[in-house]
Amino acid sequence: MRSEDLAVAPGGGGLRRLHVLSPVFFAAGHVRRLWPLALLVLARRQLWLIVAAVVVLLAVTTLEWLRRTYVLEAAALRVEEGVLARKLRVVPFDRIQQVDLVRKPLHRVLGVATLRVETAGGGRSAEVDLDVVSLGEAQALRSSLLRAKAGAAEAGGEEAEAAAAAPPERALLRLSVGQVMLAGITGTRAAAVLAVLGPLSQLSDWSPSLSDWLLRRFNPEAVAPTTPAAVVAVAVLAAAVWLGLAAASSVVTDFGFTLARVGGDLVVRRGLLERREAVLPIARLQVVRVEESLLRRALGLASIRIQSAGRAGGADQTASRLAIPILPRSEVNRVLGELLPGAAPIPRLLAPPPVARRRAVRRSLVGAAPLIVAAAVVLWALSRPTAPAALLGVPLAVLGGLAAYRSLGHARRDGFLYARRGVPIRVTTVVPVAKAQSGSVRSSLFQRRVGLATLHVDVAGGGPTPRVLDEAEENAEELLQVVLGRSPGPRFSGG
């Protein structure tokens, strides 16, 4: 099948099958799922048994390949599969949320790809994976699906014809290898690496035989640092290994990161070993979050996460795939303007009332109290005169509460609601008011005592609910009316 044949209007072709190499990938999937049985077969070390298992597996997967077909109908993608039990999936073009290309190392060697089609609010069962098709067919089929989706959304006639024209691609952001490595070092990957290295350091405790093997070959006293300079060198080496692993992990995931725009769609390409290419209609973006950790704020860096109207359940996988791992703070408004036209620049935010400052400090003290008490108990057990040092946590908790208050803020402008919160990671949330599904104003017993409330904005897709925290109750109710579209609100409201 030629790629040009797939570029025709949907509904113009007959039944299609996956690539002839698909049975190999099906077999690999079965082996992963049935790995205990596969290990048992290999452990028997009987050639005839191994050959029989391979023949049976290839026969089953070949039958699966023959029984799996797909076709582009007039208004939907239709997929039938199953050997004993048949399953039919029909995905209307106007329900398509995202079309991705996934290429793992073996895919890239063999010149094939997995085409993944996700629907808006369809749940996990509505996802279609065409694994595998040739790379040219996957690209052409993705273009056909996106054009069909655009045509289904139009009124018809000349508008649909214009939507079918393939617009040029415009690059919005490219990250160098150095920037990708910096994203791993300054982001959450560094903490994840520590979480992995910690348990690995206890391998000798879990396996005494491993510990004995190491002791027979290495003398710990001979390699232990004996001078301050040696201790510093070991610490520097350990830090280099830690940060190097974090940087390497980021390179594997985000190598060659490119954010581009093709007409009304966003295209993200990333990955070193497994190359991923995701396409998402801009019209389905629900929320954009600008995240800045303390370290990244000091370096003038930020990251952006996108929440879209994806699946109804599960994690916000679309957002994670379309997240921008790192970019200069000066580029945030430019990229935000591409994602949500009219939302940039982010305005100055209105601070909550002063009474919220006292609440933030009180909340910080309550949260730190167990740690302060635990530190005092430990210090008392070690050396009673040092126990009062635990009280140093009180001013630190107060400073943390003041920092939490300073991070709070909100604004509304030209149909957008902006909200900010967080200290270790400050998150500025941008919500198009037109995308809000519903809203609510909630206040706890302690908030009601001081006239405060929190606005919650419900949007489609998974992910955290946008909130305006500890605002004056009357202001929160006014913002709720704006979110619900009952009041146009002022053109700009911000401090």
Q: Which two tokens stand for residue 394?
A: 């009180």
Please check the confidence at residue 141 and state whether its pLDDT lies above 60.
yes
Task: Determine contact, residues 455/443, Cβ cutoff 8 Å.
Answer: no
pLDDT in tens, 389-413: 888 989 999 999 999 999 999 999 9
Task: Determine contact, residues 422/83, Cβ cutoff 8 Å.
Answer: no
Considering only the C-alpha atoms of the chain, give the largest distance between any 2 of them, rounded to a whole number of Å. Answer: 85
**Bridge partners of 441?**
455
Say if residue 6 is exposed, middle or buried (CB neighbours under 10 Å; 0-12, 13-18, 19+).
Answer: buried
Q: Which two tokens stand for residue 94?
A: 């106007």
End-to-end Cα distance, the chain: 61
pLDDT in tens, 416-430: 999 999 999 999 999
Which of 177-191, 297-311, 333-347 ranks highest by mean pLDDT?
333-347
Q: What is the mean pLDDT of residues 319-328?
A: 78
CA distance 279 to 259: 10
Note the Cα 91 to chain centre separation in Å. 24
Q: Is the alpha carbon torsion for 367, 373, 379, 385 positive or negative?
A: positive
Percent of the chain scoring above 90 in pLDDT:
37
Q: Which two tokens stand for residue 447?
A: 């908030």
Amino acid (one-letter) located at 1: M
Query: In Å, how far are 82, 219, 231 from 237, measured between CA atoms?
Result: 54, 20, 10
Strands (DSSP E) along 251-358, which ranges? 258-262, 265-270, 275-281, 285-293, 301-308, 324-328
pLDDT in tens, 212-258: 555 555 555 555 566 777 778 878 888 888 889 889 999 999 999 99
Pick left, alpha or beta for residue 470 (phi over 0 → left; psi -120 to 50 → alpha; otherwise beta). left
Which 3-state string (H, E, C) describes 409-447? EEEEECCEEEEEECCCEEEEEEEEHHHEEEEEEECCHHH
pLDDT in tens, 143-187: 888 778 766 655 444 444 444 455 788 999 999 999 999 999 998
pLDDT band with cut points at 50, 70 and 90 for residue 131: confident
pLDDT at 30: 80
Task: Determine contact, residues 293/319, Cβ cutoff 8 Å.
Answer: no
Q: What is the mean pLDDT of residues 317-330?
A: 75
Beta sheet of 128-134, edge-to-edge order: 128-134, 112-119, 96-103, 275-281, 265-270, 258-262, 169-174
CA distance 297 to 304: 14
Q: Which two tokens stand for residue 98?
A: 């995202």
CA distance 223 to 92: 66
Q: What is the mean pLDDT of residues 89-113?
A: 86
pLDDT band with cut points at 50, 70 and 90 for residue 312: very low
pLDDT at 161: 46
Pick left, alpha or beta for residue 82 (phi over 0 → left; psi -120 to 50 → alpha; otherwise beta). left
pLDDT band with cut points at 50, 70 and 90 for residue 6: very low
Q: What is the mean pLDDT of residues 80-88?
A: 86
Q: Where are the domains of the chain?
A: 3-169, 177-254, 258-352+408-493, 355-404
Q: Is 71 helix (H, G, I), strand (E, B) or coil?
A: strand
Beta sheet of 492-493, edge-to-edge order: 324-328, 301-308, 285-293, 425-432, 416-421, 409-413, 492-493
* Eight-state DSSP code of residue 450: T
pLDDT in tens, 186-219: 988 777 766 666 555 554 554 555 555 555 555 5
Percent of the chain scoring above 70 in pLDDT:
80
Say if residue 359 is exposed, middle or buried (CB neighbours under 10 Å; 0-12, 13-18, 19+).
Answer: buried
pLDDT at 226: 63
CA distance 247 to 179: 10
Which of 33-42, 64-73, 240-249, 333-342 ranks highest by mean pLDDT?
333-342
pLDDT band with cut points at 50, 70 and 90 for residue 331: very high
pLDDT at 142: 86
CA distance 322 to 278: 7
Amino acid (one-letter) located at 241: V
Task: Determine contact, residues 314/124, Cβ cutoff 8 Å.
Answer: yes
Please check the confidence at residue 290 and state whether its pLDDT lies above 90.
yes
